[in-house]
Amino acid sequence: MITPILLCGGSGTRLWPLSRKSYPKQFAPLLGEETLFQASARRLSGESFAAPVILTNAEFRFIVTEQLAAAGIDPGAVLIEPEGRNTAPAILAAALWLESQNPDALMLVAPSDHVVPDAAAFRAAVAEGETPARAGRIVTFGITPTHAETGYGYLELASAPEGAGPVPLSRFVEKPDSERAAEMVASGTHLWNAGIFLFSVATILEAFRAHAPQLLGPVGAAVTEARQDLGFLRLDPAAWSGAEDISIDYAVMEPAENLSAVPFSGGWSDLGGWDAVWRESVPDEAGVALGGAATAIECRDTLLRSEDEGLELVGIGLENVIAVAMPDAVLVADRSRAQEVKRAVAALKEKRARQAESFPKDHRPWGWFESLVIGERFQVKRIVVHPGAALSLQSHHHRSEHWIVVSGTARVTVNEDVRLVTENQSVYIPLGAVHRMENPGKVPMVLIEVQTGSYLGEDDIIRYEDVYARE
């Protein structure tokens, strides 16, 4: 069987404002009902696949397990990276962990934010690569180009592909300019580099020993010294910090000689910008693609998306425009400059705008909350708690709180008092009181929280007990 290795720690700034550091694009339902991460996990599941191994960071660990559970998929392991060190250390950590569990396994490494509409065709391509991978080849999957794209790296094949079988790979090519991209597409011997790989545990570990031995010590120690935490495996932070920040392409793939590529023509996108989202959204005959509460009047070649059902986005007479509206930020850009959205993120970071990295909804292991109104000495939040979930037992130095349940039932602890608070009932939490809310029911519990005080930051929390073992 093949063990999928899903990488899902990236930030996806080119799809701002929908994708942000606190909640990147792989966890968003960009196309359809499922998130990109859920679709990736489902695509790499079935009779030929073992349970997936997930590489992510501490901030996303509960989002990962929640979304996998919603998709009906149990992970084989969730490895927590203490900090982002690029793809080479992450893949090596997965290989070393898998060696201890199943040293004969094949690993299929894939990003979790790609779109592949034809999952069956992709699984057929993976099957084409299985035999050479078991024979000691490093197999990569290249996308048959449909146009001269300058936003992707390329794979140069030793010869033009004949059919769907693997072809020896000559070299990796960096992102080209438009003229060079056109030449490579015309040659018939170049594929887009999708960053998807298939190899055995033994093959990739030997490749690291040969080409990136400097990673073996720190990453090996991080895996050996890893600790279990509520079903997650936390890699050791001290050891991990000594690993070089380097991609798998630079560390292993470019110097390796045992490379093969399997061409894939079944449709693919890395959704690397809003222009890609526009293409994958199937625009109408005027080239207009809409999402959410959006209306276009006499527009052409335009993407309009409203990410809030209460926010109507209307475009009139627009051409080649991208407009994406969130509750706290709006992006309007020329479609030809979609790849420059990351400049907006950099500009917002410089002015210290929270919208640069923070999502309007703050996702937590127990559910999520969003700020509705923020004043000088008060804040109003909507809080949603999953069935059976509970917030930590906590207190605050600088604020008091008033909770009003608007849906479901809350079990509320205030010092020694424990009571059930149902819809249309409320409870007051004095400053300094030790308190907690839980959802004992079978449906989500929703409440409105009104905070008042001299300081309302999320770091004014003293935790006494926490079922999620947060520090």
Task: Identify the structural domains of the chain with CATH numbers, from first to last.
Answer: 2-264 (3.90.550.10), 283-350 (no CATH), 361-465 (2.60.120.10)
| pLDDT at site 143 | 92
Q: Does position 471 have pLDDT exceeding 70, yes or no?
A: no
pLDDT band at 162 (very low <50, low <70, confident <90, very high): confident
Closest of 437, 433, 438 to residue 462, by C-alpha:
433
The pLDDT tens digits of the residues spanning 273-315 come to 999 999 999 999 999 999 999 999 999 999 999 998 889 999 9
Pairwise CA distance, residues 83 & 89, whole Å: 11
Report residue 414 CA to chain centroid gap: 37
pLDDT band at 10 (very low <50, low <70, confident <90, very high): confident
The pLDDT tens digits of the residues spanning 384-410 come to 999 999 999 999 999 999 999 999 999
The predicted model scores a pTM of: 0.88
Contact 296, 304 (CB under 8 A): yes
Residue 180 backbone phi and psi in degrees, to 5: -65, -40
SS3 304: strand
Helices of type H across 5-156: 36-43, 61-70, 87-101, 119-134
